[in-house]
Structure 1
Amino acid sequence: MTQARFKIVFNGELMPEVALETAQDNLARLFKSDRTRIKALFSGSPIAIKRDLQESEADQYLAALHRAGAKARKEPDLAASLSLVDTEDHRSGEAASDAASEMNCPKCGHRQAKAAACSACGIIIEKFVARQATTSHAAPASSPATTPYATPQAAVGEELPAFGELNVFTIDGRIGRLRYLAWSLVLMFACAGVMGVVAIAAGISEVFGGILGIAVLIGMLVVSVQIGVQRLHDIGWSGWLLLLNIVPIVNSVFWLLMLVVPGSQGANRFGSPPPANSTAVKILAGLFLALLLGSLLTLFLGGFAMLGLALSGMDPSILGTPGN
């Protein structure tokens, strides 16, 4: 007896809490296809995106699609059991088919009364089955998919990357809250060291020192923007929101949001989640927070002391005049 075969059917439904754009991005990476063809899969009509699979293979395809955000389903593939060779199994299959009053379209799965053509998608069933049987055994390796309904060129069973790659000097990818603090602290330390070299150069030549200082400041700004954009990507926000940091008052609140709001669970439209934080990242992030809190405490105590002097009528300038 022939082993049951299955197909994967998709009608555009999404998994819970998955955005349409995120699912389309994931499927484009999964199928190694462009967004235009992937968008056609979300028309709302049932589409068989993979056929003639064993049950284990169908389960693997289904799991990969579910991880990508597409709520596909597994159905028996009746067309795969059809044969172009006149065998005993084939003849018995034909007898059973003749006894049935209804049939499923081998392309779209539409159930209808037995007919030569599908009333839903319009295909000639016999020709479609023959073409499927031919292309499944001798499909050209280099032939591109001409329709969005063609079998994916990539193996759908491929695992999506568990974690994204880390790269400071890019606006692609994602970083979490602690890594954002750690990278920012390293950037500040590096800038402080380079500015020491700039000061030495300015002592030799003011013009050269000024040019070098401007170059260092521009470089620091570019890298800080790249780090900030990656942090926004981790939340699921557009990197253009970083422009809010140039708006007075709003910038302070927005920077706190970048530190507080957690990243997206799992992959989002900007890629896979970042790797787990290393010990070095945790130490640097803690040092950044300690320095930040120390600076805020110093400012608070200084302001409180100045306020006390002002209320007592004492001239605050005497604090800076030793010997009086």
Structure 2
Amino acid sequence: MTEARYKIIFDGEPMPGVALETVKDNLARLFKSDASRIESLFGGRSVALKRDLLEAEADKYLAALLKAGAKVRKEQDSSSGLSLLATDDHPDPAAPASAQDDYQTMDCPKCGHTQPKSAECQACGVIIEKYLARQAQLADEAVQASTTIGTVGEPASPYAPPQAQVGESLPEFGELKVFSLQGRIGRLRYLAWSTVMMLAFLPIGILIFSSSVLSETVAAIVTVLVSLAVIAVSVCMGVQRVHDMGWSGWLWLLNFVPVIGWVFSLLMLFMPGTAGANRYGPPPPPNSRAVKVLACLFLVPIMGIIAAIAIPAYQDYVMRAQLESPASFEAPAEMPAIQDQSAQ
């Protein structure tokens, strides 16, 4: 009994939560192909990336492509079975030679269109001999560059399986770099780093004040250097926080736009980052206890400022309410007697 064969089908869609550009980059790296050829896989139609596979082989390719972010599926390949129909290699001996020549057909190696034998595909217009030569050249380059998987002598195809194991797998968590515009940090780590920067600025402020007593020039130079350092670190932290939300780091400049800057600052404080990896890298490491404590310390002065503004406003409101109350204007019972005595 012939063992069942399977094929891997790709519909041109990424896995949920994976960016389309990330999938394209992963497939280009896996297939050792250029971006234009990978782009043709995302044309909105189903494409068979690999055919005539045993079930174990099909599962292997399926796992590799799913890990790369491509939404693929495994289907049974019915076309790989035996057939009693006449083919180019085994024509029907009962048919006349002229009839065999008339009905010889071929499949385009690029788009799969079935047509009578011809040097050019009627569907996509590719010159078949040039196309096969180019694919053979690409296959040879891929074999020399990496360890082959499967049979080296397979016919070259733009949808051939990867020539090496799924490339460099992304780490589970990203590396933390304070002085960098790359990578991601979450909400709590953004607050914690801001707290550390404020605490570090206290002794520096004392140093500046002390140097101003000795020399105003030295104090001015130290102030400029410290200000530049604080700005640079703030930009790095802000850009990494925006990356964590899946946005371009240039959006950090919205903080300088009136009104919009306030709203964007609140988004940076409270909006969660994207789950899993995004186009800016893997997620940041889990928050440690120290990060959580420092984040709470950052919120303490903010709560104090809010209380300092809210409590006097509430007291003023209560006082105005009492003054505007009709009961506050009622004269005491002894008032008429006092007025009579003053008149006498």
One fold, TM greater than 0.5? yes
**Identity among equivalent pairs (%):** 51
Of residues 64, 85, 90, the one that matches 1:99 is 85
SS at structure 1 position matched to 2:14: coil
Give the conservation status (yes or no) of the 8 Å contact 1:46–1:109.
Answer: no
Structure 1 letter corresponding to 2:230: M
SS at structure 1 position matched to 2:71: coil
Alignment of 1:155 with 2:165, yes or no, is yes
**Aligned position for 1:284:** 294
1:4: how far off? 6.3
Deviation string, structure 1 residues 183-205 (Cα, Å, up to 9, x no partner): 11111112222222222333322
163-172 or 301-310, larger mean C-alpha shift: 301-310
Cα gap change, 1:182/1:311 in structure 2, threshold over 3 Å: closer, same or farther?
same
CA distance in 1, matches of 2:107, 2:172: 38
**Aligned position for 1:41:** 41
Alignment of 1:213 with 2:223, yes or no, is yes
Cα gap change, 1:209/1:222 in structure 2, threshold over 3 Å: closer, same or farther?
same
Cα gap change, 1:158/1:212 in structure 2, threshold over 3 Å: closer, same or farther?
closer
SS at structure 2 position matched to 1:198: helix
**Aligned position for 1:13:** 13
SS at structure 2 position matched to 1:162: coil
Structure 2 letter corresponding to 1:267: A
TM-score w.r.t. the length of structure 1 is 0.69
CA distance in 1, matches of 2:189, 2:282: 16
Give the conservation status (yes or no) of the 8 Å contact 2:109–2:157.
Answer: no
Of residues 139, 144, 164, the one that matches 2:143 is 139
1:207: how far off? 0.8
CA distance in 1, matches of 2:264, 2:296: 21
1:166: how far off? 1.4
Structure 1 letter corresponding to 2:15: M
Computing the radius of gyration from Cα coordinates, the structure with the larger value is 2
SS at structure 1 position matched to 2:251: helix
TM-score w.r.t. the length of structure 2 is 0.66
Alignment of 1:233-252 (within 5 A): 233-252=243-262
**Aligned position for 1:258:** 268
**Aligned position for 1:63:** 63
Give the conservation status (yes or no) of the 8 Å contact 1:110–1:120.
Answer: no
User: Size of the alignment, in residue pairs?
Assistant: 292
Give the conservation status (yes or no) of the 8 Å contact 2:107–2:115.
Answer: no
Deviation string, structure 1 residues 228-259 (Cα, Å, up to 9, x no partner): 11111111122222112112332222211111
1:216: how far off? 0.8
**Aligned position for 1:86:** none
**Aligned position for 2:180:** 170
1:260: how far off? 1.6
116-125 or 258-267, larger mean C-alpha shift: 116-125
1:147: how far off? 9.7
Give the conservation status (yes or no) of the 8 Å contact 1:11–1:47.
Answer: yes
Cα gap change, 1:113/1:31 in structure 2, threshold over 3 Å: closer, same or farther?
closer
30-39 or 63-72, larger mean C-alpha shift: 30-39
Give the conservation status (yes or no) of the 8 Å contact 2:61–2:161.
Answer: no
CA distance in 2, matches of 1:106, 1:2: 27
1:178: how far off? 0.8
SS at structure 1 position matched to 2:306: helix
Cα gap change, 1:55/1:104 in structure 2, threshold over 3 Å: closer, same or farther?
farther
Unpaired segments ≥5 residues, structure 1: 82-92, 313-324
Give the conservation status (yes or no) of the 8 Å contact 1:174–1:233.
Answer: yes
1:30: how far off? 6.0
1:181: how far off? 0.7
